[in-house]
A and B are shown apart, each in its own frame.
Chain A
Amino acid sequence: MIWTGILILFCLIGVYAYYRQLSKGLVVTNMRDYVSWGIYISNFVFFVAISLVGSLITAIFRLANIHWSTPLTRIAEIIAVSAITFASIIIIVDMGRPERLVNLVAHGRLQSPITWDVIVIGTYFFISLLLLYIPMLPDLKILNEQKNIKPGWIKRGYKFWGGFWKGTKEQSKISRRSIIILSIMIIPVAFCIHTVTSWLFATTYRPGWDSTNFGAYFVSGAFLVGAGAVIIAMYVFRKYYHLEKYITEKHFDRMGKALVLLAFLYLYFNINEYLVPAFKMKKPEEAHLTQLFAGEFAPLFWFAIIVGMVIPVIVLLFKKGRKPLPMFVIGIMVVVGAWFKRYLIVTPTLLHPFLPMQDVPQSYKHYFPSWEEWAIAIGTLAGALLIITIFVRLFPIIPIQETITEQNEKNEGK
């Protein structure tokens, strides 16, 4: 209750800050002519990245016949749905005049990556929602059969959403086929969502963004942060809902190994992204790169690399590091490092354009978010956690039917 209350409070502060932004305009933010994409867009990229985990755990593992991840699929899917919801919200918050969103439909150009992004985000949201809902139908039947559910509206809700599921052969057959189709479909759409998001940057000619590596770089980073988020959720749900029987140490061990692979992958792309331009040190990119390596942004940059990637790899290479508690700490390090990494992708580049602007106040050449920006950004993060919290209170976070079936099959196999 305290946890939910804190999240609601953060959301309300965020709503108040947004009210101020709507009534006074974007001037309440510290975004100016130089940094026009600040903490909001960093948050957007972070949310899009974290949402990718749905496709990794639910689809890729499922299609690869990896069954140990079954108890984690719903955690991954609800993280994906809540993250993509707030990715859509924060992009509208970034607009000074949100009602002009309609212009994208009325006057949008198919040549613009923004149009592609809106289409692909909408599609990914819908697929994620279906992948969350359809596998949950058998569990809703179990919930419907419970007699002592109170209050009544929850029972009515279960009946509305899953009262029609009888578990017949035909229903199971259609459901299974639908889940396989969704699992196949979500992989290219998930790759598209983050590749297109990366193109919002890469199609702009700026230091740090002018890269052909950006799509793969974003996708690999997204898998890493998503896996980190799932590990945090695994630990929290396991501890507070006593799910030790379902989310075992083996799950942590395997997720740890997966995380090492993903961290190595992301490190590889980071080395590509920074070492090659740093080797050439082209004059127009020099200010940007030196600011990252040894200047104003160096503490954040090295924090994101070392805490978000290097330390997790070192710790998780040891078996003891892949135990639940160290994994939880590593998960937090990965997610926090990833958030700052998104900030570093967006902001420093904007401060170093190829053609500096003339006659702008000195204050435009630095950026630190205003309290309204912080409040809105924290409010959206709290909102995403609130969706997960409410979901977990209402629905089983472990796919009951699927896990039981798989365990039975495993036992029969023995």
Chain B
Amino acid sequence: MKENKYLLLFLLFSGILINNKVIAQDDSIVAEEIVKLKYYNSKNSMQFLILENYQRTRKKSEPLVNKKFQLYLDSIQPETLIAAITTNNTGKAKSFLPINLKNVWEASATHKFIAIAAGKEAEPAAAIEITKAKIHLDTTTSDGVRSITVTVSKYENGEWIPANEVEMKVGVLRLGGILPAGDEGTYTTDSSGTITVEVTKDSLPGDTNGNFLIAARVENNDQLGNLEVEQLVPWGVAVKTGKDFFSQRTLWSTRFKTPFWLLFMAYGIVLSVWGTLIYLIIQFFKIKKLGKIHTTR
């Protein structure tokens, strides 16, 4: 029985030790550095690149800050240098395509973007290849039904052809992202490179004239990269801001516009409590004075 007890204790401690060792091994996993390069085409007129650099272990990802990279278009040569960039505190760096590379850009339907890390010139840190693409957005209203039509085309063999099987989000541009305009979260283009979304969301707040932005966004497509297009439409409910809003006395206005009821209540309480306290201090000095009179007698 006694031996069994020791055996049990031994097994318990061995279990704890082995468990600790496993945890220790977990912690010693070498962190992996990740470099991601993403191509963006905004409104068919602005092309730019975003580089993401972070370190990943099994447990977490940490951005790598102040890392220097050089970006090249198609080949690593001084004349095809897009920009020298440095990652910010989120581990990201951004660069637009410079004007001097216009001819190189227009010469080909597909392009390769190459990122070289400073001090590691021997091999690219990241590289992506994209096909030039365009995205167009159109709106129609028929029998009171509003529709958004988006067409994606890509450049191949010297001409623009429809890009099919391209997944995208279509909806109303809001602060946190795109609010889907139809019933689906994403849509995929057909053989004509087109999708049509029937707008099911109505009575959405717009600006003071009832306008809001609708957008179509292709995200992380292997061939085309990231594409986005926007259009202002008068489909929203006009939001009128009260002109006298800031002159109202409310709980959320400035200190000079405190509601009267609060002023009376707060000052009433403060004055009555501190008035009594001042009275008590006077009483205290009275006690002190009485003591001195008593001593002199």
Contact = CB atoms under 8 A, between A and B. Distances in A.
Contacts, number: 74
A363 B62 CA distance: 9
The A contact surface, by secondary structure, is: helix
Given A116-B266, A166-B291, A358 B176 contact: yes
A185 interface: yes
Contacts of B253: 111
Interface of B: 60-63, 90, 176, 250-255, 258-259, 262-263, 266, 270, 273-274, 276-277, 280, 283-284, 286-288, 290-292, 294-295
Contacts of B273: 123, 185, 189
A359 B294 contact: no
A107 interface: yes
Interface in A110-127: 110-111, 116, 119, 123, 126-127
A174 B287 contact: yes
17 contacts: A107-B255, A111-B250, A111-B253, A111-B258, A123-B270, A123-B273, A123-B274, A126-B277, A164-B287, A164-B290, A166-B291, A174-B283, A174-B287, A178-B283, A178-B284, A189-B273, A362-B60
A108 interface: yes
Interface of B is mostly: helix
Contacts of A134: 284
Contacts of A164: 287-288, 290-292, 295
A130 interface: yes
Contacts of B286: 174
A93 B290 CA distance: 43
> What are the 5 tightest A-B residue pairs by CB atom distance, in nearest-first order?
A164-B291, A109-B255, A166-B294, A164-B288, A110-B258
A23 interface: no
Contacts of B295: 164, 166
Q: Which of B60, B90, B253, B280 has the most CB of A within 10 A?
A: B280
A126 B263 CA distance: 23
B181 to A, nearest CB: 21
A137 interface: yes
Contact of A109 (B254, B276, B280, B287): B254
A361 interface: yes
A204 to B, nearest CB: 13
